[in-house]
């Protein structure tokens, strides 16, 4: 896991911006494009709850942007003070400017610009109860965000993005996580690197496949578990299907060919974590 502790920086400034032509507005607006996120290593999280969660989890905040009308909100004021202490700037704008930054007609009143944070492959050291999810070539940001949220919900450890995938830091993916992107580990690796990881996996590696001959409810998911999911269109590649210790199928009864990727991942995760989940917890 990457070191979450913020590096000491000089206290941040407070900027009041009214013009849509201001370079800071343009820069933040630019983060909705993948090439700018890649170049800057930054991304946007929208909403007071998400931003507060990220700051609490120790993610590095570069800018806190909020609407003028929420300046006196105690939570916003506290977040602004923490942001400045940690070296981030506080940017106070009108709602029109906020809408322009996030390309939304009804923008949230708060957004944060954060440094992207990924877990290094070498830091994946699964304990006996760990559950990791590997997503091969996931394409849909909504699916990825929903899966991160579900992984968080069941108390699984993290997600490994395998091969060429959608950007987990796109605004759509981050929105769909509802804040869970700040709570679960996220790693990225090539198919070759993942082949090595799965070959050395100490517990159960289970792939999900429409051609799986085993009902997913009959497997003993002895930990640590590595759950491997295929892409939305193509499913699991033959090479990765071959590398999985087990290939399971979720039985279906209607006319649908398959389940949505995020739904299938949810069904699997709740089965794998069945013994660990309780409504009393």
Enumerate binding residues for ligand SAM (CB under 6 A). Answer: 208-210, 212, 229-230, 232, 235-236, 249-250, 252, 258-259, 261, 264
Nearer to ligand SAM, 50 or 236 (CB): 236
Torsion (CA) 162, 167, 173, 178 in degrees, nearest 10? 80
Min dist CB 271 to ligand SAM, Å, is 12
Buried b / exposed e across 151-181, counting CB within 10 Å, b at 16+? bbbbebbbbbbbbebbbbbbbebbbbbbbbb
**Among the listed residues 87, 113, 103, the one whose alpha carbon sits nearest the alpha carbon of residue 5:** 87
Q: Vertex 251, ends 246 and 254: CA angle to 5°? A: 155
**Among the listed residues 224, 227, 116, 121, the one whose alpha carbon sits nearest the alpha carbon of residue 173:** 116
Min dist CB 207 to ligand SAM, Å, is 7
Nearer to ligand SAM, 153 or 258 (CB): 258
Min dist CB 230 to ligand SAM, Å, is 2
In the block, residue with structure tokens 């090439």: 35
Nearer to ligand SAM, 47 or 235 (CB): 235
Min dist CB 86 to ligand SAM, Å, is 40
Min dist CB 254 to ligand SAM, Å, is 11
Min dist CB 183 to ligand SAM, Å, is 23
Nearer to ligand SAM, 25 or 269 (CB): 269
Q: Name the E strands within the chain.
A: 14-17, 42-46, 61-67, 89-93, 110-115, 131-136, 158-162, 185-189, 204-208, 214-215, 225-229, 246-249
Nearer to ligand SAM, 119 or 208 (CB): 208
Nearer to ligand SAM, 93 or 225 (CB): 225
């Amino acid at each position: 896991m990457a070191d979450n502790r913020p590096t000491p920086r000089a206290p941040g400034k407070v900027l009041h911006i009214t013009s849509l032509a201001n370079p800071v507005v343009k820069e933040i607006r630019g983060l909705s494009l993948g090439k700018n996120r890649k170049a800057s290593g930054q991304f946007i999280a929208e909403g007071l709850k998400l931003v507060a969660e990220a700051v609490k989890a120790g993610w590095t905040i570069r800018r806190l942007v909020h609407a003028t009308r929420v300046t006196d909100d105690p939570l916003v004021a506290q977040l602004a003070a923490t942001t400045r202490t940690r070296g981030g700037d506080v940017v106070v704008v009108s709602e029109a400017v906020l809408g322009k930054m996030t390309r939304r007609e009804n923008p949230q009143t708060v957004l944060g610009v954060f440094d992207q944070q990924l877990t290094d492959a070498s830091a994946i050291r699964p304990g006996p109860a760990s559950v990791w999810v590997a997503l091969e070539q996931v394409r849909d940001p909504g699916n990825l965000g929903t899966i991160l949220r579900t992984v968080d919900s069941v108390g699984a450890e993290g997600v490994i993005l395998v091969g060429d995938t959608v950007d987990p830091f796109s605004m759509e993916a981050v929105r769909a996580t509802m804040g869970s992107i700040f709570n679960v580990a996220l790693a990225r690796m090539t198919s070759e690197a993942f082949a090595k990881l799965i070959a050395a996996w100490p517990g159960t590696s289970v792939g999900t496949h429409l051609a799986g001959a085993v009902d997913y409810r009959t497997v003993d998911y002895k930990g640590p578990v590595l759950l491997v999911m295929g892409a939305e269109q193509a499913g699991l590649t033959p090479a990765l299907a071959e590398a999985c210790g087990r290939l399971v199928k979720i039985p279906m009864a209607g006319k649908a060919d398959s389940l949505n990727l995020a739904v299938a991942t949810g069904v699997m995760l709740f089965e794998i974590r069945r013994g660990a989940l309780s409504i009393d917890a």
